[in-house]
Chains A and B, each alone.
Chain A
Protein backbone atom coordinates (compact mmCIF):
# COMPACT_ATOMS: atom_id res chain seq x y z
CA UNK A 1 0.00 0.00 0.00
CA UNK A 2 1.06 3.55 -0.76
CA UNK A 3 0.67 4.70 2.85
CA UNK A 4 2.82 1.93 4.30
CA UNK A 5 5.47 2.35 1.59
CA UNK A 6 5.77 6.02 2.47
CA UNK A 7 6.18 5.20 6.17
CA UNK A 8 8.85 2.61 5.42
CA UNK A 9 10.67 4.98 3.07
CA UNK A 10 10.74 7.90 5.55
CA UNK A 11 11.26 6.00 8.78
CA UNK A 12 12.83 8.83 10.74
CA UNK A 13 10.16 11.36 9.80
CA UNK A 14 7.31 9.04 10.68
CA UNK A 15 9.07 7.74 13.80
CA UNK A 16 9.24 11.33 15.02
CA UNK A 17 5.55 11.83 14.23
CA UNK A 18 4.69 8.59 16.06
CA UNK A 19 6.84 9.72 19.00
CA UNK A 20 5.06 13.08 19.08
CA UNK A 21 1.70 11.30 19.05
CA UNK A 22 3.05 8.97 21.75
CA UNK A 23 3.95 11.96 23.91
CA UNK A 24 0.44 13.37 23.46
CA UNK A 25 -1.01 9.96 24.38
CA UNK A 26 1.34 9.70 27.38
CA UNK A 27 0.30 13.16 28.52
CA UNK A 28 -3.42 12.44 28.29
CA UNK A 29 -3.01 9.03 29.93
CA UNK A 30 -0.84 10.37 32.74
CA UNK A 31 -3.29 13.20 33.37
CA UNK A 32 -6.12 10.67 33.32
CA UNK A 33 -4.30 8.40 35.78
CA UNK A 34 -3.39 11.30 38.07
CA UNK A 35 -6.98 12.55 37.93
CA UNK A 36 -8.28 9.10 38.76
CA UNK A 37 -5.60 8.81 41.44
CA UNK A 38 -6.79 12.05 42.99
CA UNK A 39 -10.39 10.84 42.99
CA UNK A 40 -9.39 7.42 44.36
CA UNK A 41 -7.13 9.04 46.94
CA UNK A 42 -9.92 11.30 48.05
CA UNK A 43 -12.72 8.77 48.01
CA UNK A 44 -11.34 5.22 47.69
CA UNK A 45 -12.38 4.10 51.15
CA UNK A 46 -15.95 5.30 50.59
CA UNK A 47 -16.33 4.47 46.91
CA UNK A 48 -14.93 0.94 47.27
CA UNK A 49 -17.26 -0.06 50.10
CA UNK A 50 -18.73 -3.48 49.39
CA UNK A 51 -22.34 -2.29 49.22
CA UNK A 52 -25.18 -1.48 46.86
CA UNK A 53 -26.22 1.53 48.90
CA UNK A 54 -24.83 3.69 51.66
CA UNK A 55 -27.19 5.14 54.27
CA UNK A 56 -26.33 8.42 56.00
CA UNK A 57 -28.03 10.32 58.77
CA UNK A 58 -30.78 12.45 57.27
CA UNK A 59 -29.98 15.98 56.08
CA UNK A 60 -26.21 15.48 56.26
CA UNK A 61 -25.94 15.65 52.47
CA UNK A 62 -23.91 12.45 52.26
CA UNK A 63 -21.24 13.94 54.49
CA UNK A 64 -19.40 11.11 56.22
CA UNK A 65 -17.87 13.33 58.89
CA UNK A 66 -21.22 14.72 60.01
CA UNK A 67 -23.35 11.59 59.73
CA UNK A 68 -24.16 9.67 62.90
CA UNK A 69 -26.31 6.54 63.06
CA UNK A 70 -27.30 5.02 66.37
CA UNK A 71 -27.58 1.31 67.00
CA UNK A 72 -31.34 1.65 66.54
CA UNK A 73 -30.84 3.45 63.24
CA UNK A 74 -28.70 0.62 61.92
CA UNK A 75 -31.29 -1.90 63.12
CA UNK A 76 -33.96 0.09 61.25
CA UNK A 77 -31.91 0.02 58.09
CA UNK A 78 -31.17 -3.68 58.48
CA UNK A 79 -34.83 -4.55 58.88
CA UNK A 80 -36.05 -2.31 56.06
CA UNK A 81 -37.85 -3.93 53.15
CA UNK A 82 -35.50 -4.83 50.32
CA UNK A 83 -32.36 -4.91 52.47
CA UNK A 84 -30.48 -8.21 52.33
CA UNK A 85 -27.85 -7.23 54.86
CA UNK A 86 -26.33 -4.11 56.34
CA UNK A 87 -23.32 -3.33 58.47
CA UNK A 88 -22.22 -0.23 60.28
CA UNK A 89 -19.23 1.76 59.15
CA UNK A 90 -17.70 4.25 61.53
CA UNK A 91 -15.32 7.06 60.68
CA UNK A 92 -13.07 8.97 63.04
CA UNK A 93 -10.10 11.27 62.55
CA UNK A 94 -6.91 9.96 64.13
CA UNK A 95 -3.34 11.15 64.45
CA UNK A 96 -0.78 8.37 64.14
CA UNK A 97 2.82 8.61 65.29
CA UNK A 98 4.25 6.88 62.23
CA UNK A 99 7.98 6.10 62.03
CA UNK A 100 8.46 8.58 59.20
CA UNK A 101 6.32 11.45 60.30
CA UNK A 102 3.04 12.00 62.13
CA UNK A 103 0.06 10.95 60.02
CA UNK A 104 -3.16 12.92 60.20
CA UNK A 105 -5.53 10.31 58.92
CA UNK A 106 -8.75 8.32 59.32
CA UNK A 107 -9.87 5.14 61.02
CA UNK A 108 -12.79 3.23 59.52
CA UNK A 109 -14.53 0.80 61.83
CA UNK A 110 -16.27 -2.03 60.02
CA UNK A 111 -18.96 -4.04 61.74
CA UNK A 112 -18.43 -6.90 59.30
CA UNK A 113 -17.25 -7.87 55.81
CA UNK A 114 -13.50 -7.34 56.20
CA UNK A 115 -13.07 -9.72 53.28
CA UNK A 116 -13.82 -6.77 51.01
CA UNK A 117 -10.30 -5.46 51.69
CA UNK A 118 -7.79 -6.79 49.16
CA UNK A 119 -4.70 -7.80 51.13
CA UNK A 120 -1.35 -6.97 49.48
CA UNK A 121 0.78 -7.88 52.53
CA UNK A 122 0.14 -9.45 55.92
CA UNK A 123 -3.17 -10.99 56.89
CA UNK A 124 -6.78 -10.11 56.25
CA UNK A 125 -10.06 -10.89 57.96
CA UNK A 126 -11.49 -9.11 60.97
CA UNK A 127 -8.70 -7.59 63.09
CA UNK A 128 -8.66 -8.22 66.82
CA UNK A 129 -9.07 -5.32 69.24
CA UNK A 130 -6.19 -2.88 68.85
CA UNK A 131 -5.24 -4.21 65.40
CA UNK A 132 -5.61 -2.52 62.01
CA UNK A 133 -5.44 -3.25 58.31
CA UNK A 134 -3.94 -0.18 56.62
CA UNK A 135 -3.86 1.23 53.11
CA UNK A 136 -0.48 0.44 51.56
CA UNK A 137 0.35 4.12 50.92
CA UNK A 138 1.20 4.31 54.66
CA UNK A 139 4.43 2.54 53.72
CA UNK A 140 5.66 5.87 52.42
CA UNK A 141 5.57 7.09 56.02
CA UNK A 142 7.65 4.16 57.21
CA UNK A 143 4.76 2.02 58.43
CA UNK A 144 5.36 -1.74 58.18
CA UNK A 145 3.35 -4.84 58.96
CA UNK A 146 3.89 -5.71 62.62
CA UNK A 147 4.44 -2.10 63.73
CA UNK A 148 2.61 -0.95 66.82
CA UNK A 149 1.78 2.70 66.34
CA UNK A 150 0.84 5.24 68.97
CA UNK A 151 -2.21 7.43 68.40
CA UNK A 152 -1.93 10.97 69.71
CA UNK A 153 -3.22 12.64 71.80
CA UNK A 154 -5.59 9.86 72.84
CA UNK A 155 -2.96 7.46 74.17
CA UNK A 156 -4.08 4.44 72.18
CA UNK A 157 -2.06 1.96 70.11
CA UNK A 158 -2.79 0.12 66.87
CA UNK A 159 -0.83 -2.86 65.57
CA UNK A 160 -0.66 -3.15 61.79
CA UNK A 161 -1.53 -6.72 60.69
CA UNK A 162 -1.84 -6.17 56.95
CA UNK A 163 -1.81 -3.76 54.04
CA UNK A 164 -4.74 -3.25 51.66
CA UNK A 165 -4.90 -1.08 48.53
CA UNK A 166 -7.00 1.69 46.97
CA UNK A 167 -8.42 2.55 50.37
CA UNK A 168 -7.43 6.14 50.99
CA UNK A 169 -9.66 8.90 52.19
CA UNK A 170 -8.95 12.61 51.63
CA UNK A 171 -5.52 11.52 50.37
CA UNK A 172 -4.56 9.80 53.65
CA UNK A 173 -4.20 6.03 54.20
CA UNK A 174 -7.20 4.59 56.04
CA UNK A 175 -6.74 2.37 59.12
CA UNK A 176 -9.45 -0.33 59.19
CA UNK A 177 -10.35 -1.56 62.67
CA UNK A 178 -13.14 -3.62 64.18
CA UNK A 179 -16.15 -1.83 65.60
CA UNK A 180 -15.08 -2.17 69.25
CA UNK A 181 -11.72 -0.57 68.51
CA UNK A 182 -13.48 2.12 66.46
CA UNK A 183 -15.85 2.91 69.36
CA UNK A 184 -12.90 3.19 71.71
CA UNK A 185 -11.04 5.52 69.32
CA UNK A 186 -14.12 7.64 68.72
CA UNK A 187 -14.99 7.94 72.38
CA UNK A 188 -11.40 8.84 73.21
CA UNK A 189 -11.31 11.40 70.42
CA UNK A 190 -14.62 12.97 71.41
CA UNK A 191 -14.61 12.68 75.17
CA UNK A 192 -10.99 12.30 76.19
CA UNK A 193 -8.57 9.50 76.80
CA UNK A 194 -10.56 7.84 79.59
CA UNK A 195 -13.83 7.38 77.74
CA UNK A 196 -14.46 3.79 76.64
CA UNK A 197 -17.63 3.70 74.56
CA UNK A 198 -20.04 5.63 72.38
CA UNK A 199 -22.82 3.10 72.74
CA UNK A 200 -22.40 1.43 69.37
CA UNK A 201 -22.88 4.50 67.27
CA UNK A 202 -21.44 4.44 63.75
CA UNK A 203 -21.20 7.02 60.97
CA UNK A 204 -23.00 5.27 58.16
CA UNK A 205 -24.49 1.92 57.25
CA UNK A 206 -23.32 -0.06 54.24
CA UNK A 207 -26.26 -1.93 52.76
CA UNK A 208 -26.55 -4.90 50.44
CA UNK A 209 -29.94 -4.91 48.74
CA UNK A 210 -32.24 -7.75 47.85
CA UNK A 211 -32.16 -8.55 44.11
CA UNK A 212 -34.24 -6.08 42.12
CA UNK A 213 -34.40 -3.45 44.85
CA UNK A 214 -33.06 -0.04 43.90
CA UNK A 215 -31.34 2.60 45.98
CA UNK A 216 -34.27 4.98 45.38
CA UNK A 217 -36.70 2.37 46.69
CA UNK A 218 -34.58 1.98 49.83
CA UNK A 219 -34.50 5.75 50.30
CA UNK A 220 -38.30 5.82 50.03
CA UNK A 221 -38.62 2.95 52.52
CA UNK A 222 -36.32 4.58 55.08
CA UNK A 223 -37.90 8.03 54.78
CA UNK A 224 -36.47 11.46 55.64
CA UNK A 225 -34.48 10.36 58.68
CA UNK A 226 -31.81 8.99 56.39
CA UNK A 227 -29.94 10.02 53.25
CA UNK A 228 -29.30 7.15 50.85
CA UNK A 229 -26.85 6.98 47.96
CA UNK A 230 -24.82 4.51 45.96
CA UNK A 231 -21.17 4.14 47.08
CA UNK A 232 -20.11 6.03 43.95
CA UNK A 233 -22.46 8.94 44.71
CA UNK A 234 -21.40 8.91 48.34
CA UNK A 235 -17.76 8.93 47.35
CA UNK A 236 -18.17 12.02 45.20
CA UNK A 237 -20.06 13.96 47.87
CA UNK A 238 -18.45 16.23 50.44
CA UNK A 239 -14.81 17.32 50.91
CA UNK A 240 -15.12 19.62 47.90
CA UNK A 241 -15.35 16.63 45.59
CA UNK A 242 -17.87 18.17 43.14
CA UNK A 243 -15.45 21.06 42.55
CA UNK A 244 -12.51 18.67 42.28
CA UNK A 245 -14.38 16.50 39.77
CA UNK A 246 -15.13 19.59 37.69
CA UNK A 247 -11.45 20.56 37.79
CA UNK A 248 -10.31 17.03 36.93
CA UNK A 249 -12.77 16.78 34.03
CA UNK A 250 -11.64 20.21 32.87
CA UNK A 251 -7.98 19.14 32.88
CA UNK A 252 -8.80 15.98 30.94
CA UNK A 253 -11.03 17.87 28.50
CA UNK A 254 -8.35 20.47 27.79
CA UNK A 255 -5.71 17.76 27.31
CA UNK A 256 -7.98 15.97 24.82
CA UNK A 257 -8.68 19.17 22.88
CA UNK A 258 -4.98 20.05 22.73
CA UNK A 259 -4.18 16.45 21.78
CA UNK A 260 -6.75 16.55 18.98
CA UNK A 261 -5.33 19.80 17.66
CA UNK A 262 -1.72 18.59 17.84
CA UNK A 263 -2.47 15.31 16.06
CA UNK A 264 -4.73 17.04 13.54
CA UNK A 265 -2.11 19.67 12.78
CA UNK A 266 0.59 16.99 12.32
CA UNK A 267 -1.36 15.26 9.60
CA UNK A 268 -2.51 18.54 8.11
CA UNK A 269 1.12 19.64 7.74
CA UNK A 270 2.16 16.31 6.21
CA UNK A 271 -0.75 16.64 3.76
CA UNK A 272 0.29 20.19 2.86
CA UNK A 273 3.84 18.98 2.21
CA UNK A 274 2.48 16.46 -0.26
CA UNK A 275 0.20 18.80 -2.21
CA UNK A 276 2.16 18.42 -5.46
CA UNK A 277 2.35 14.67 -5.10
CA UNK A 278 -1.38 14.37 -4.36
CA UNK A 279 -2.17 16.59 -7.35
CA UNK A 280 -0.13 14.25 -9.57
CA UNK A 281 -1.82 11.13 -8.20
CA UNK A 282 -5.21 12.73 -8.74
CA UNK A 283 -4.16 13.76 -12.26
CA UNK A 284 -3.26 10.12 -12.95
CA UNK A 285 -6.81 9.16 -11.99
CA UNK A 286 -6.88 8.66 -8.22
CA UNK A 287 -10.18 9.51 -6.58
CA UNK A 288 -10.38 11.63 -3.44
CA UNK A 289 -11.55 8.49 -1.63
CA UNK A 290 -8.34 6.68 -2.63
CA UNK A 291 -6.14 9.53 -1.39
CA UNK A 292 -8.10 9.93 1.88
CA UNK A 293 -7.99 6.17 2.47
CA UNK A 294 -4.19 6.27 2.26
CA UNK A 295 -4.14 9.09 4.80
CA UNK A 296 -6.46 7.21 7.15
CA UNK A 297 -4.33 4.08 6.89
CA UNK A 298 -1.23 6.12 7.68
CA UNK A 299 -3.01 7.70 10.66
CA UNK A 300 -4.15 4.28 11.88
CA UNK A 301 -0.61 2.91 11.81
CA UNK A 302 1.01 5.99 13.36
CA UNK A 303 -1.61 6.38 16.08
CA UNK A 304 -1.32 2.69 16.96
CA UNK A 305 2.46 2.98 17.24
CA UNK A 306 2.02 6.28 19.10
CA UNK A 307 -0.50 4.64 21.45
CA UNK A 308 1.98 1.85 22.26
CA UNK A 309 4.74 4.40 22.90
CA UNK A 310 2.40 6.60 24.95
CA UNK A 311 1.05 3.72 27.05
CA UNK A 312 4.59 2.53 27.78
CA UNK A 313 5.71 6.03 28.72
CA UNK A 314 2.67 6.56 30.96
CA UNK A 315 3.19 3.20 32.68
CA UNK A 316 6.87 4.04 33.11
CA UNK A 317 5.99 7.42 34.59
CA UNK A 318 3.54 5.74 36.96
CA UNK A 319 6.09 3.14 38.03
CA UNK A 320 8.55 5.90 38.82
CA UNK A 321 6.13 7.79 41.04
CA UNK A 322 6.21 7.38 44.85
CA UNK A 323 3.36 5.23 46.30
CA UNK A 324 1.73 8.23 47.94
CA UNK A 325 1.48 9.99 44.58
CA UNK A 326 -2.01 10.00 43.18
CA UNK A 327 -1.67 7.74 40.11
CA UNK A 328 -4.42 5.27 39.31
CA UNK A 329 -4.13 3.84 35.78
CA UNK A 330 -7.55 2.30 35.30
CA UNK A 331 -7.76 0.10 32.19
CA UNK A 332 -11.31 1.22 31.43
CA UNK A 333 -10.32 4.90 31.53
CA UNK A 334 -7.21 4.29 29.48
CA UNK A 335 -9.31 2.33 27.02
CA UNK A 336 -11.58 5.34 26.70
CA UNK A 337 -8.52 7.58 26.38
CA UNK A 338 -7.15 5.43 23.55
CA UNK A 339 -10.53 5.41 21.84
CA UNK A 340 -10.61 9.18 22.08
CA UNK A 341 -7.07 9.44 20.68
CA UNK A 342 -8.19 7.50 17.60
CA UNK A 343 -11.26 9.74 17.41
CA UNK A 344 -9.05 12.83 17.76
CA UNK A 345 -6.83 11.58 14.95
CA UNK A 346 -9.89 10.95 12.77
CA UNK A 347 -11.25 14.44 13.50
CA UNK A 348 -7.77 15.82 12.77
CA UNK A 349 -7.75 13.96 9.46
CA UNK A 350 -10.85 15.88 8.42
CA UNK A 351 -8.70 19.03 8.20
CA UNK A 352 -6.50 17.12 5.77
CA UNK A 353 -9.53 15.80 3.89
CA UNK A 354 -10.57 19.38 3.27
CA UNK A 355 -7.13 20.04 1.77
CA UNK A 356 -7.25 16.86 -0.31
CA UNK A 357 -10.62 17.84 -1.77
CA UNK A 358 -9.26 21.28 -2.61
CA UNK A 359 -6.10 20.08 -4.35
CA UNK A 360 -6.60 20.72 -8.06
CA UNK A 361 -5.12 17.89 -10.16
CA UNK A 362 -4.59 20.38 -12.98
CA UNK A 363 -1.74 21.91 -10.93
CA UNK A 364 0.28 18.77 -11.65
CA UNK A 365 0.61 20.02 -15.23
CA UNK A 366 0.79 23.66 -14.28
CA UNK A 367 4.33 24.98 -14.44
CA UNK A 368 3.79 28.71 -14.81
CA UNK A 369 2.20 28.34 -18.22
CA UNK A 370 -1.36 28.59 -19.44
Chain B
Protein backbone atom coordinates (compact mmCIF):
# COMPACT_ATOMS: atom_id res chain seq x y z
CA UNK B 1 0.00 0.00 0.00
CA UNK B 2 1.37 3.43 -0.97
CA UNK B 3 2.13 5.73 1.91
CA UNK B 4 3.54 8.53 -0.24
CA UNK B 5 2.28 9.62 -3.66
CA UNK B 6 4.13 12.23 -5.68
CA UNK B 7 1.93 13.21 -8.61
CA UNK B 8 3.31 15.13 -11.56
CA UNK B 9 5.26 17.53 -9.33
CA UNK B 10 7.11 20.46 -10.88
CA UNK B 11 9.08 23.20 -9.20
CA UNK B 12 10.23 26.34 -10.96
CA UNK B 13 12.18 29.28 -9.55
CA UNK B 14 12.10 32.83 -10.87
CA UNK B 15 9.96 34.00 -13.76
CA UNK B 16 9.97 35.11 -17.38
CA UNK B 17 13.21 34.52 -19.23
CA UNK B 18 15.06 33.77 -15.96
CA UNK B 19 12.86 30.83 -14.93
CA UNK B 20 14.79 27.82 -13.63
CA UNK B 21 13.08 24.45 -13.65
CA UNK B 22 14.29 22.35 -10.73
CA UNK B 23 11.70 19.57 -11.04
CA UNK B 24 9.52 18.65 -13.99
CA UNK B 25 6.63 16.17 -13.94
CA UNK B 26 8.00 13.92 -11.20
CA UNK B 27 5.62 11.07 -10.36
CA UNK B 28 6.16 8.08 -8.11
CA UNK B 29 4.79 6.24 -5.13
CA UNK B 30 6.48 4.77 -2.08
CA UNK B 31 5.01 1.88 -0.13
CA UNK B 32 4.80 1.98 3.62
CA UNK B 33 7.86 0.47 5.26
CA UNK B 34 10.04 0.62 2.16
CA UNK B 35 13.22 2.51 1.45
CA UNK B 36 13.62 4.65 -1.67
CA UNK B 37 16.97 5.99 -2.75
CA UNK B 38 16.86 9.12 -4.91
CA UNK B 39 20.03 9.15 -6.95
CA UNK B 40 21.37 11.89 -9.13
CA UNK B 41 24.26 14.20 -9.77
CA UNK B 42 24.62 17.61 -8.20
CA UNK B 43 21.94 19.98 -9.51
CA UNK B 44 19.55 17.21 -10.55
CA UNK B 45 16.76 18.38 -8.19
CA UNK B 46 17.13 15.71 -5.48
CA UNK B 47 17.17 18.14 -2.58
CA UNK B 48 14.34 20.20 -4.08
CA UNK B 49 12.25 17.04 -4.27
CA UNK B 50 13.02 16.24 -0.63
CA UNK B 51 12.15 19.83 0.37
CA UNK B 52 8.81 19.64 -1.43
CA UNK B 53 7.94 16.34 0.25
CA UNK B 54 8.97 17.79 3.63
CA UNK B 55 6.63 20.73 3.11
CA UNK B 56 9.56 23.16 3.13
CA UNK B 57 8.80 24.23 -0.44
CA UNK B 58 5.51 24.51 -2.26
CA UNK B 59 5.48 22.74 -5.64
CA UNK B 60 4.73 24.97 -8.63
CA UNK B 61 2.30 22.29 -9.78
CA UNK B 62 1.38 18.72 -8.91
CA UNK B 63 0.40 17.05 -5.68
CA UNK B 64 2.07 15.39 -2.70
CA UNK B 65 -0.16 13.01 -0.81
CA UNK B 66 0.88 11.23 2.36
CA UNK B 67 -1.39 8.59 3.83
CA UNK B 68 -4.25 9.94 1.71
CA UNK B 69 -3.88 13.50 2.83
CA UNK B 70 -2.47 16.30 0.59
CA UNK B 71 0.42 18.12 2.21
CA UNK B 72 1.30 20.58 -0.53
CA UNK B 73 -1.57 22.92 0.32
CA UNK B 74 -0.71 23.50 4.00
CA UNK B 75 0.14 26.82 5.59
CA UNK B 76 3.65 27.38 6.96
CA UNK B 77 2.55 26.64 10.54
CA UNK B 78 0.61 23.53 9.49
CA UNK B 79 3.63 22.35 7.51
CA UNK B 80 5.85 22.89 10.59
CA UNK B 81 3.49 20.80 12.72
CA UNK B 82 3.42 18.13 10.01
CA UNK B 83 7.22 17.92 9.96
CA UNK B 84 7.34 17.86 13.76
CA UNK B 85 4.86 15.00 14.03
CA UNK B 86 5.21 12.94 10.86
CA UNK B 87 8.64 13.56 9.37
CA UNK B 88 12.12 12.63 10.52
CA UNK B 89 14.56 14.92 8.77
CA UNK B 90 18.29 14.23 8.46
CA UNK B 91 20.44 16.97 6.96
CA UNK B 92 23.63 16.62 4.98
CA UNK B 93 25.31 19.14 7.33
CA UNK B 94 23.76 17.44 10.43
CA UNK B 95 22.48 20.77 11.77
CA UNK B 96 22.94 19.68 15.34
CA UNK B 97 22.50 22.50 17.84
CA UNK B 98 26.10 23.33 18.77
CA UNK B 99 25.43 24.20 22.41
CA UNK B 100 23.33 21.12 23.18
CA UNK B 101 24.78 17.75 24.14
CA UNK B 102 23.96 14.68 22.06
CA UNK B 103 21.07 13.68 24.30
CA UNK B 104 19.77 17.27 24.48
CA UNK B 105 19.82 17.40 20.68
CA UNK B 106 17.54 14.38 20.65
CA UNK B 107 15.28 15.92 23.30
CA UNK B 108 14.90 18.99 21.10
CA UNK B 109 12.29 17.09 19.07
CA UNK B 110 9.77 16.54 21.89
CA UNK B 111 10.61 20.01 23.20
CA UNK B 112 9.46 21.55 19.92
CA UNK B 113 6.06 20.01 20.49
CA UNK B 114 5.71 20.67 24.22
CA UNK B 115 7.20 19.27 27.39
CA UNK B 116 9.97 16.74 27.78
CA UNK B 117 8.99 13.78 29.95
CA UNK B 118 10.97 11.01 31.63
CA UNK B 119 9.82 8.67 28.84
CA UNK B 120 11.39 11.01 26.29
CA UNK B 121 14.64 10.99 28.25
CA UNK B 122 14.64 7.19 28.49
CA UNK B 123 13.97 6.95 24.77
CA UNK B 124 16.75 9.42 23.89
CA UNK B 125 19.31 7.54 25.98
CA UNK B 126 18.09 4.26 24.46
CA UNK B 127 18.46 5.55 20.89
CA UNK B 128 21.96 6.82 21.56
CA UNK B 129 22.86 3.40 22.95
CA UNK B 130 21.46 1.77 19.80
CA UNK B 131 23.66 4.04 17.68
CA UNK B 132 26.77 3.18 19.73
CA UNK B 133 26.81 6.62 21.29
CA UNK B 134 26.15 5.56 24.87
CA UNK B 135 29.44 7.04 26.03
CA UNK B 136 28.97 10.28 24.11
CA UNK B 137 25.56 11.38 25.40
CA UNK B 138 26.91 14.43 27.25
CA UNK B 139 29.22 15.55 24.47
CA UNK B 140 28.39 18.60 22.37
CA UNK B 141 28.71 18.30 18.56
CA UNK B 142 32.14 19.93 18.45
CA UNK B 143 33.42 17.04 20.58
CA UNK B 144 32.04 14.38 18.21
CA UNK B 145 33.46 12.98 14.97
CA UNK B 146 31.62 13.43 11.65
CA UNK B 147 30.24 9.89 11.78
CA UNK B 148 29.08 10.35 15.38
CA UNK B 149 27.38 13.63 14.50
CA UNK B 150 25.53 12.00 11.62
CA UNK B 151 24.40 9.15 13.91
CA UNK B 152 23.16 11.68 16.46
CA UNK B 153 21.29 13.43 13.64
CA UNK B 154 19.66 10.15 12.57
CA UNK B 155 18.77 9.29 16.18
CA UNK B 156 17.23 12.75 16.56
CA UNK B 157 15.10 12.15 13.46
CA UNK B 158 13.82 8.91 15.03
CA UNK B 159 12.88 10.55 18.35
CA UNK B 160 9.29 11.35 17.42
CA UNK B 161 8.59 8.01 15.70
CA UNK B 162 8.03 9.63 12.30
CA UNK B 163 6.02 8.00 9.52
CA UNK B 164 8.61 9.00 6.94
CA UNK B 165 12.32 9.58 7.23
CA UNK B 166 13.73 12.08 4.74
CA UNK B 167 17.48 11.78 4.61
CA UNK B 168 19.59 14.23 2.63
CA UNK B 169 23.03 13.08 1.47
CA UNK B 170 23.87 11.34 4.76
CA UNK B 171 27.35 10.35 3.62
CA UNK B 172 28.44 13.52 1.82
CA UNK B 173 30.72 14.61 4.65
CA UNK B 174 32.02 11.15 5.53
CA UNK B 175 34.62 8.84 4.04
CA UNK B 176 33.32 5.79 2.17
CA UNK B 177 33.76 3.34 5.03
CA UNK B 178 32.05 5.52 7.61
CA UNK B 179 29.42 6.45 5.04
CA UNK B 180 28.58 2.79 4.42
CA UNK B 181 28.39 2.17 8.17
CA UNK B 182 26.01 5.08 8.68
CA UNK B 183 23.74 4.03 5.80
CA UNK B 184 23.75 0.45 6.98
CA UNK B 185 22.81 1.53 10.48
CA UNK B 186 20.10 3.81 9.10
CA UNK B 187 18.67 0.93 7.03
CA UNK B 188 18.61 -1.38 10.03
CA UNK B 189 16.76 1.07 12.24
CA UNK B 190 14.29 2.06 9.55
CA UNK B 191 13.46 -1.55 8.76
CA UNK B 192 13.24 -2.62 12.38
CA UNK B 193 10.73 0.18 12.98
CA UNK B 194 8.91 -0.50 9.67
CA UNK B 195 9.37 3.12 8.68
CA UNK B 196 9.26 4.56 5.20
CA UNK B 197 12.49 6.21 4.18
CA UNK B 198 13.55 8.44 1.30
CA UNK B 199 17.29 8.94 1.03
CA UNK B 200 18.90 11.39 -1.35
CA UNK B 201 22.41 10.53 -2.50
CA UNK B 202 24.76 11.08 -5.39
CA UNK B 203 26.69 7.90 -4.57
CA UNK B 204 25.50 4.73 -6.31
CA UNK B 205 27.14 2.55 -3.62
CA UNK B 206 24.82 3.92 -0.96
CA UNK B 207 21.77 2.60 -2.83
CA UNK B 208 22.53 -1.06 -2.24
CA UNK B 209 20.16 -1.55 0.64
CA UNK B 210 17.29 0.40 -0.90
CA UNK B 211 14.05 -1.28 -2.06
CA UNK B 212 13.75 1.13 -4.98
CA UNK B 213 16.07 3.59 -6.66
CA UNK B 214 14.80 6.71 -8.41
CA UNK B 215 17.26 8.40 -10.71
CA UNK B 216 16.87 12.12 -11.36
CA UNK B 217 18.57 14.02 -14.16
CA UNK B 218 17.98 17.73 -14.70
CA UNK B 219 14.83 17.61 -12.59
CA UNK B 220 13.22 14.78 -14.49
CA UNK B 221 12.84 11.14 -13.59
CA UNK B 222 15.36 9.25 -15.70
CA UNK B 223 14.85 5.76 -14.38
CA UNK B 224 13.14 3.83 -11.62
CA UNK B 225 14.42 0.48 -10.48
**Residues of chain A at the chain B interface (Cβ within 8 Å):** 2, 5-6, 8-10, 276-277, 280-288, 290, 360-362, 364-367, 369-370
Contacts and interface: CB of A to CB of B under 8 A. Distances in A.
B157 to A, nearest CB: 9
Contacts of B54: 283, 365
Nearest to A362: B56
Contact of A284 (B47, B48, B104, B109): B109
Given A281-B97, A284-B83, A370 B56 contact: no
B45 interface: yes
A44 to B, nearest CB: 52
B97 A369 contact: no
Given A286-B80, A286-B112, A370-B20, A365 B85 contact: no
Interface of B: 11, 13, 20, 22, 42-48, 50-51, 54, 56-57, 77, 80-85, 87, 89, 91-93, 95, 97-100, 104, 108-109, 111-113, 140, 156, 168
A280 B100 CA distance: 14
A284 B56 contact: no
A370 B48 contact: yes
Given A283-B89, A367-B93, A369-B46, 5 more contacts: A8-B99, A285-B84, A365-B91, A369-B47, A369-B48
B164 to A, nearest CB: 13
B80 A2 contact: no
Contacts of B57: 362
Contacts of B104: 5
A284 B85 CA distance: 10
Contacts of B56: 283, 360-362, 364-365
B78 to A, nearest CB: 10
Nearest to A363: B56
Contacts of A367: 47, 92-93
Contacts of B99: 5-6, 8-10
A10 B54 CA distance: 32
B112 A284 contact: yes
Nearest to B81: A285
Contacts of A284: 83-84, 89, 108-109, 112, 156
A326 to B, nearest CB: 46
Contact of B42 (A276, A280, A364, A369): A369
29 contacts: A2-B97, A5-B99, A8-B99, A9-B99, A10-B99, A276-B95, A277-B97, A277-B98, A280-B91, A283-B54, A283-B89, A284-B89, A284-B109, A285-B84, A286-B80, A287-B77, A287-B80, A287-B81, A361-B80, A364-B91, A365-B91, A365-B92, A366-B47, A366-B51, A367-B92, A369-B44, A369-B46, A369-B48, A370-B47
Contacts of B109: 284-285
A83 to B, nearest CB: 66
Contact of B100 (A5, A364, A366, A370): A5
A54 to B, nearest CB: 61
Nearest to B94: A280
A290 B110 CA distance: 12
Contact of A370 (B13, B82, B92, B98): B13
A286 B54 CA distance: 14
Contacts of B108: 2, 281, 284
Nearest to B77: A287
- Consensus secondary structure, chain B interface: mixed
Nearest to A1: B111
Contacts of B42: 369
A182 to B, nearest CB: 70
B25 to A, nearest CB: 16
A152 to B, nearest CB: 71
A369 B42 CA distance: 6
A360 B76 CA distance: 10
A282 B97 contact: no
B122 to A, nearest CB: 20
Given A6-B99, A277-B97, A362-B56, A285 B46 contact: no
Given A285-B83, A362-B57, A290 B98 contact: no
B11 to A, nearest CB: 8
Nearest to A7: B99
Nearest to B88: A284
A256 B44 CA distance: 53
A366 B22 CA distance: 13
Nearest to B168: A365
Nearest to A289: B77
Contacts of B13: 370
B92 A277 contact: no
Contacts of A288: 77
Contacts of B92: 365, 367
Contacts of A360: 56
Given A364-B95, A370-B45, A370-B48, A9 B140 contact: yes
B89 to A, nearest CB: 6
B108 to A, nearest CB: 7
